[in-house]
Every structure is written in C-alpha cells, then in structure tokens.
Structure 1
C-alpha cells in the first residue's frame, strides 16, 4: 500500500471514527482515503475550511470522547499548534499524523525532518508536551497506530506520529491489523467518564477548560501535568540499537533516514570502520539512556537528519560530553545518500585523529 493510505486504513481499523482535515501535500492521499472509507465504518469525515478549523473540530470531537485522528504536513501542523496547547492543557486525547516536508514557510513538497523542534518542543504556548513517535517504515507506522490511540487515551494527551513525505508517498508491503470494535456512542461515558456526553445518566456535570484565573489553580494543574509527563518519560521511551559494543562511530537517526544509515554502515564496514546506530522510536520522550550503552572507546557520534540539525541537540544531551558530536544531513527536500553519510563519517573521523 501507499503510505498515506495505509496510515488511514490502520486508523480506521484501530477504532478511529472521526477525522477532520484540510488538504496539503504530501499527505493528501490520507484525506482522500478517509473521505471515501471512513463513513463505511460508521465514522464521520469532515474537510474543514482551514487547518485552524480542523484542529478545533478535532478538539470538539475529543471533548465528546471520540477516537479522533487529524493529519497534515509541516506548515499545516504549524497552524494547529495553538490547538495542541489547548488539547494538552485540557487533557484530551488526539492522534496527530504529520507527514512532514521541507521548510521553513511553505518550503517544498519533498520530504524533510525539520519539524523536530516543532514536534518535540511544541510550537504552542505554555508548559506542555506532545508524545511523539517516529516510524521508519510503513509497517511500523501501521503497527504504531493502535499504540498511539491507546497512549493518547491512557495519558489523556495528544500523540503525534511524525512521518515524512517519503514514508507517505512510497509503497511497501504491509500487514494490516485486525479491526477493533469502536466504542459505541452510548458507552463513551463509561469508557471516558470525563467526556462531555450530557447528563442523561444523572451524573454530575463534567467541566473541561484551560482557563485558570487564580494563579494557584493554574500552578496545581501544571504540577499535575508534570507528574503525567514524568511518568511518560519512565514508561514510554522506545528505541532500537545495533553494533554499539565496539563501534568507531555511532550514528543517531530516526524515521526513514535511519534506513539510509543502515546501508551507510555496510559501506563503512567494507572499509574496516565499525559503525553502530541508535534509532529513537519515541522522539519525546527521547531515549537519552540509550547513549549509556555506547562503548567508551567510541570516537564520534553523528546525528543524521534531513535538516540543518535539530535532533543533534538531544544527541549532545545524551552524550553528556563523552563524545564529539557532528551532523550529517541534507535539506531542501534532497534525500541524503548512504555514500554521503559514509563519506561524512570518514571526514569527521579524520578530523579528530
């Protein structure tokens, strides 16, 4: 399946019944697929008049207890940041799919990874976090979908799947999950007792708000959110690793770029250079502990990104000053090649000799 269509089908099979979106390349196939298929599963598709409208419609769907998906690409996601801050503040679950492209501004329609700061640091106001997953294949993204919805529900927090234009547009074999039964509308108040479902059951009124006029009430709410984020840092970190034991150089890469690095490692191995890889699966929380598994004799860490260098800051935090850290990357929608990554590693190793 094409990536965008696989993402959409996986969401439907994972119980998503509400989708709000606005077309933007390179994720339009997802919106088109939802417009054709979601109603067949008893769901509701709405094409909003803008990204701002879409995120606020999603806010409304989440308030009512729905399993909601929203998707866009980089500049569209930028317009949704205020809504993400509101959703985090009011502790509402939402799954966000960002099929990222080049920027800043309108940028290009080719793949990019320059949304790392936006995803992991947040473009909205205040102390909040999105939980962020970064798949490296269409299959991993499909497998990640149910986890994203479950984590969003458990933590009552927005979850972003940060893909990129390459994953959205490429085609790969994929095994789709067995369909899950969506929560019936009459059972939402049992599954999500905090939701605004009316008080026909004679329950007390629920209140969902992000306005706290008394400073101490806002501070108490932020402390509660911090406790949740601290729990996420302990429970949700995911990463994969390879060849860290005696590596001369260790690459750090996420998403589709990690697959390019795997081939670069094979090139270096032929030249007698041992290379390892840390692939963060969660970008927030970031797997800093993975860096404690690197061989103390490793000479260099290289952050490989389709950006001018954003994840590199987290790589430096994880390295704790134990290793030199450098960047290998391309921008403008140009994919870096395995040979370029290998050459960058050789040049950097020569410099530190």
Structure 2
C-alpha cells in the first residue's frame, strides 16, 4: 500500500476505522479535535455511528454501552477530558469490556494549556479511576506507530476484554508524516458470547455489570483480573533498544521525546560519551525486562513532565543504578542540548 501524508489525529482516526471501529463517542478538546472531526465525516460512510456527547463523562458511558453490546468502539480526548473519563474507564475495566481510548496529552494540571506534554503518565499507567485495575498503554513515537498501535489496540482489547489506551503528546496529533495502513496481526478472538445483544429467546440474558455485593465474590473477581494482568505483563511489554550495548549512560524516553533523545545520544557519542536509548513502547506493562543486565554507569530519563516515568525506571533497575531526570513541562519541548548538558554533568564531562 502506498504511503500518504497525513496529520497524526486524522491518521489515528482512519486507523480506527480500518480496524473495524463502528462507534465513536467524544467531545471536542484541543489538541485532538481532528479525530472527532474526521470521524464525523467518515464514520457514516462505513455504516458506523459518530456522536458528539454533551460531555466527556457522557462519552465514556456511551463507550461502556457500545462495548457491552460487543461493538468495536473508541473515544478520544486530551488530558482534562481523559481525567473526566476515568470513572467510566474503571467501570469498563471492572466489567471486562473491550474499548480503545486515545489521549493526545497537553500540559496541566487543571486546564493547563494546549501545547504538547507527557504529564499524564501517572494517570495513564496507574489508572485514574477507583479500584485495582489496569489497562494496556501504547506510546507511539511516530505517526506510523500511532496508526499501527491504534489498529493493534482493537485486537488486543478484544483479546483480553479490557480497555486499551493509546497516548501521544500533542505533537503526535498535530504533525504530519507519511503513513501506510497495514492490517495488524490478527489474534485468535473468541466469539463475544458475553455481549448484551438480546436473547431472541434462545438463552438467559447476559448481564454487564461491575457490582459485587458479596465480598468474597468481589475478591475472586479481582484475583481473576490480576491473573490476566500478569499474563499481559509477561506477553505484551514492548520496547526499543538504541545503541545500548556499549553505552555508559542510557537515556530513557518514550513518544516523540525518544526521537529527541536519540539525537542527543548521537551528539554525546561525537563528544566521546557512549550513550544509548531505551524507549518504552508500552507504558503499561512497563518493559522491566529491557533493564535487566545493563552494563551502563547511569540512566537519564527524559520526559515532557516533572519526572513521572523515573519511578518505573528506578524500580526496573531495582535501585542498583543511579537514575537521573531531565525534562520540560507546560508545553515546552526538551532540546538535545539540554539532554547533552545533563548527561555530561552526570558523567563528569566538560566541553
């Protein structure tokens, strides 16, 4: 298939339709507005439904309903909107329903600004709703990856019966790159016998619910969910290594920040400082295996936040290596020079 130049948000929307998404419920917020705009125009052409809800809370509950009927469904928003959806995401996870949620992150806290950010790491990976639940979080670094991960998210959501989130900073949504739309690897999906689609008098009604009044029953439910999460940790963690074999310092970054970190690593090598990059492609499950048996002297996390991923990096190296942080916030983007300066300082180098 020939590549086509597309804006990130529109490419994500097209990828969802290509993956079989038939329902989209959302609400406008910068910098992801092109997703619902594209869906409003294109979804009816494939027999799908686009609906602009009256709020983000309404949108996620509509997703809950469509997912309960077994449909492939998606919503998208940006940081404050995703925060409003957290209760619904917890309900969807508790009811074991497949759904895809896209977050084009912007600066916060509160309404913050409309510029790109990665400050939703905690909210995305820890679960902003109540209870013991998890959902897979993909972090694309290019628009092509955003396309591929969005398409894969629908397969994975159906396979594990759980919500899946795709997070990108606002740059992923707004910049343009050439992309192609190749079908994802198909998973062996079970028939959705659990869906609430009407009985036709042939079976007992299915009940979509996350309420367990008996404590033992709820504990059993949580333990079963945890076993599923353990399987996901083992099978679904993804990452990229870049020149880490001989690295004395390893930069850890995800999304578009990882592209900047790779440039910084090259600049450091020109100075004689051996640098590499580990790029988590799933934020949950976090790729702990990527940090086993490292021979570097230190790690430096690079983020568009005040340093949220650093906690996972420290845990992944079991606190056996020093882990440092450098970043920008509020919509400011780290530049290679500031990463180089910080790495030079850590390694004791001078110009």
- TM-score (norm. length: structure 2): 0.95
Aligned residue in 2 for 1:345: 343
Deviations along 1:168-200, one digit per CA (max 9) or x if unpaired, are 0000011123599xxxxxxx9x83110000001
Deviations along 1:65-113, one digit per CA (max 9) or x if unpaired, are 1100110000000000000100000000000000000000000100000
Equivalent-residue separation in structure 1 for 2:160 and 2:17 (angstroms) = 21
RMSD: 1.6
Moved more, 45-54 or 284-293: 284-293
Aligned residue in 2 for 1:176: 181
Query: Are 1:26 and 1:169, in contact at CA under 8 Å, matched by a contact in 2?
Result: yes
Equivalent-residue separation in structure 2 for 1:15 and 1:191 (angstroms) = 16
Aligned residue in 2 for 1:26: 31
Aligned residue in 1 for 2:209: 209
- TM-score (norm. length: structure 1): 0.94
Aligned residue in 1 for 2:100: 95
Deviations along 1:214-242, one digit per CA (max 9) or x if unpaired, are 10010011111011111111110111102
Equivalent-residue separation in structure 2 for 1:287 and 1:66 (angstroms) = 30
Query: Are 2:152 and 2:184, in contact at CA under 8 Å, matched by a contact in 1?
Result: no
What is the CA-CA distance between 1:344 and the residue it aligns to?
1.1
Deviations along 1:51-73, one digit per CA (max 9) or x if unpaired, are 00000011000001110011000
Aligned residue in 1 for 2:136: 131
Equivalent-residue separation in structure 1 for 2:88 and 2:229 (angstroms) = 19
Moved more, 152-161 or 190-199: 190-199
Deviations along 1:119-169, one digit per CA (max 9) or x if unpaired, are 000110000001101000000111112210011001100000011100000
Structure 2 runs not aligned, ≥5 long: 1-5
Query: Are 2:106 and 2:331, in contact at CA under 8 Å, matched by a contact in 1?
Result: yes
What is the CA-CA distance between 1:340 and the residue it aligns to?
1.2
Equivalent-residue separation in structure 1 for 2:211 and 2:314 (angstroms) = 37
Equivalent-residue separation in structure 2 for 1:179 and 1:219 (angstroms) = 35
Aligned residue in 2 for 1:314: 312
What is the CA-CA distance between 1:205 and the residue it aligns to?
1.6
Aligned residue in 1 for 2:115: 110
Aligned residue in 1 for 2:227: 227
Secondary structure of residue in 2 paired with 1:105: coil
Secondary structure of residue in 2 paired with 1:250: strand
Name the CA shift for 1:253/1:132 in 2 (closer, same or farther; >3 Å).
same
Equivalent-residue separation in structure 1 for 2:234 and 2:46 (angstroms) = 36
- Does residue 262 in structure 1 map to residue 262 in structure 2? yes
Equivalent positions of 1:244-283 (< 5 A) are: 244-283=244-283
Equivalent-residue separation in structure 1 for 2:91 and 2:155 (angstroms) = 20
Equivalent positions of 1:55-204 (< 5 A) are: 55-177=60-182, 191-200=191-200, 202-204=202-204
Aligned residue in 2 for 1:289: 289
Query: Are 1:244 and 1:277, in contact at CA under 8 Å, matched by a contact in 2?
Result: yes
Query: Are 1:15 and 1:179, in contact at CA under 8 Å, matched by a contact in 2?
Result: no
Query: Are 1:244 and 1:293, in contact at CA under 8 Å, matched by a contact in 2?
Result: no
Q: Which ranges of 4 or more aligned residues in structure 1 deviate by more than 6 Å?
A: none
Structure 1 runs not aligned, ≥5 long: 181-187
Name the CA shift for 1:201/1:193 in 2 (closer, same or farther; >3 Å).
farther
Aligned residue in 1 for 2:52: 47
Moved more, 256-265 or 342-351: 342-351
Aligned residue in 1 for 2:238: 238
Equivalent-residue separation in structure 1 for 2:284 and 2:83 (angstroms) = 18
